[in-house]
A and B are shown apart, each in its own frame.
Chain A
Amino acid sequence: MENIILGLTHVLQPYNLLICAAGLFVGVLFGALPGFSATMGVAVFIPFTYVMEPEAAMLLLAGIYCGGVYGGSIPAVLIGIPGTPASVPTSMEGRPLTKRGESGRALAMVTLSSCTGGVVSAFALLVGAPLLALIAMKVGAPEQMMIAIFGLSVVCTLSFDNLLKGLLVGFVSLLIATVGQDPILGFPRFTAGFYQLTGGVDAVPILIGLFSLPEVLKMLETAETEKGDVSRVSKMVLHLKDITSNIGNFIRSAIIGVGIGIIPAAGPDIASFFSYNEARKSSKHPEEFGNGSMAGIIASETANNAVTGGSLIPLLTLGIPGSAPAALFLGAMIIHGMRPGPLLFTQNAAEVYTLLVGFIVINIMMFFVGWIYCKASGKILLLPKSVLATTIVVLATVGAFSINQNMWDVLMMYVAGIVGYIMVKNDYPLSPVALALLLGKILEQGLSQTITLYSGKPLEVLTRPLFVVFLLFTIFSYAYPFIKNAKDKKKAAAKED
């Protein structure tokens, strides 16, 4: 308690509050620009933090991290281009709402959900870090493999109307994820002799191309009408009914987010897909999903921001980074002489508790910073398509380049964009690509390690409690769309009688 008050006094210093705000402003911008991401924001600012005070450095990075995860949803809602992969589900619901002229309602809810998720995760971090870190320890190779398989079940739910195409896209993308060094012996495979592919296909440039270029090309199809298809910016308002009817959804999504955050290797992108999927399954109006469902937006946004605090739990307590930006945090902490571990909380109490309390403050502050951004960026809808299209192409190109400072990635981004356009035009879903590229490596590595660990005694893997839990979830998740389908048919038949 003493430490919390100490942290609070540090955070509430005007300079530190300013740093939090600056981090948020930068972070939201990085998240919102297609081709830029939270990870990138944190990465490019780490060198700056080397020369700052440790507390300020941590707060700045935390602000960028939280802001970046949130910011991706703004373009997702407004123009259907998710700023980061974590906002893909948001774009599926937000875009239809914008087309109906309800962009303000959507953005307001995005902002509220993101803050809720962030604040919940910040409290989990502050109160339960040492306890929750034990979960991270229990997640070994078999659990990671199961999570990946579970995650891929989302492909089935998302593309149930067109299962064949969805599965095809999923499997081919998983295959693409195997390019590069194999996880056991480390020899490159399927590289066709390109050394650039040795480390595998980087998911980020691919996703930038996949989600932004098709939107640009779609804009050209109707370029004659100079204005965008929505010329009205609706007012930013929160509807009380949207909140009250989704209390359970908020709670479930926040828990999913924090949980995924704690688990190493799965980040905000996975969390938002999971939570979106669960919301859809338990919704009373599943037909709304894909056509502008508020519940979908809430699920996706609450979960992806709940990852932020969750992913710092194993990092601070055991030095295990729970997501890509968290891995960058680790670097920044080491530079400032803060070594993660159980002793961190006593040896560096001032810095750590400043960060923990700061996380709560940052997430509350994000509501206001986000609101400002949403108000300003709503004007995007008034931009002529020509300006919008050109700007997006430049942003995507420069963004893809700057992740690895490497022209190869720009090329990959472009190819992914063209392929993506062909896919969109022929009703092949894009989201399985994101899921498969993000989960493919985890799946194969987990699989090969599990085989090594349990070779000759496969049934012993069932002695791992978490594994069994995930296994049951997975079975249910794969069977669910089929059960549901059968039930609906029965119902329809009953009605006809």
Chain B
Amino acid sequence: MQRKKSLYDILICIGVLVFLCGFIAQLGGVSKESKGYPLFLIVCSVLLTVALLAKSIRNYKREEALEKDPNFVKTLLVIISYAILIAAYIFLMDKIGYIIATLLFVVVSLLFLKVRSIPLLILLPVGLTASMYFLFTKFLLVTLPGAAWFGF
């Protein structure tokens, strides 16, 4: 399969259809009174997706393959790794609390983004974490996850 612009649309359409199937599968449990409106939306969504799918497949046949971009794989890897990094941050925040997770995330993120300046690597994590912590727990009385560990 060649990399073409409409290939992504085809993949997205398939994804949306799977997502819509999730809704359709649960439709049985919905009471009669409140079924009509979502049903209408589902039907419209499915029709639109199928229309877009058909259009994309037609375009795919006609379209020329995208130019080979030497950086494509590299950029994609960067984006995916950063997305995983954010996911790890959110996961860690739930598990070990806001402070450690944020400190770690800021440092790793800066290193990942090729920051090598030592003062920045120390000041931003500490400054950002502390100011947010102060703002929320001490000032706005919102307890951030795991903040209670630190004996407040």
Contact present between A and B (CB < 8 A): yes
Given contacts A217-B82, A223-B78, A394 and B34 within 8 Å (CB-CB): no
B9 neighbours in A (Cβ, 8 Å): 426
B23 in contact with A44 (CB, 8 Å):
no
Docked complex Cα distance between A69 and B140 (Å):
20
B37 neighbours in A (Cβ, 8 Å): 178, 444, 447-448
A171 partner, pick from B34, B48, B105, B106, beta carbons under 8 A: B48
B29 in contact with A387 (CB, 8 Å):
no
Q: Spot the interface stretch: A55-63, A160-168, A317-325.
A: A160-168
Question: B2 interface residue, CB < 8 Å from A?
Answer: no
Given contacts A44-B142, A390-B124, A172 and B83 within 8 Å (CB-CB): no
CB neighbors of A among B25-42 (8 A): 26, 29-31, 33-34, 37-38, 41-42
Contact indicator per residue, chain A 156-194, by CB within 8 Å of chain B (1) or not (0): 000000001101100110110010001111010111100
B113 in contact with A220 (CB, 8 Å):
yes
A165 neighbours in B (Cβ, 8 Å): 52
A414 in contact with B42 (CB, 8 Å):
no
Contact indicator per residue, chain B 1-27, by CB within 8 Å of chain A (1) or not (0): 000000011001000100110110010
B55 neighbours in A (Cβ, 8 Å): 164
Question: How many A-B Cβ pairs are below 8 Å?
Answer: 151
A182 in contact with B90 (CB, 8 Å):
no
| Secondary structure dominating the interface of A | helix
> How many residues belonging to B are interface residues under a CB distance threshold of 8 Å?
56
Question: A411 interface residue, CB < 8 Å from B?
Answer: yes
A398 in contact with B49 (CB, 8 Å):
no
Q: Which residue of A lies closest to B120 (CB)?
A: A387
B124 in contact with A171 (CB, 8 Å):
no
Given contacts A172-B16, A175-B41, A178-B38, A221 and B75 within 8 Å (CB-CB): yes
Docked complex Cα distance between A418 and B33 (Å):
35
A385 in contact with B142 (CB, 8 Å):
no
CB neighbors of B among A401-432 (8 A): 401-402, 405, 407, 410-411, 414, 417-418, 421-422, 425-426, 428
Docked complex Cα distance between A385 and B41 (Å):
40
A393 in contact with B79 (CB, 8 Å):
no
CB neighbors of B among A196-221 (8 A): 213, 216-217, 220-221
Top 5 nearest A-B pairs by Cβ distance? A386-B113, A182-B34, A390-B109, A168-B48, A44-B140
Task: Given contact pairs A387-B110, A422-B12, enumerate 7 new A-B contacts (beta carbons under 8 Å).
Answer: A175-B20, A190-B23, A217-B79, A220-B78, A387-B120, A410-B90, A417-B86
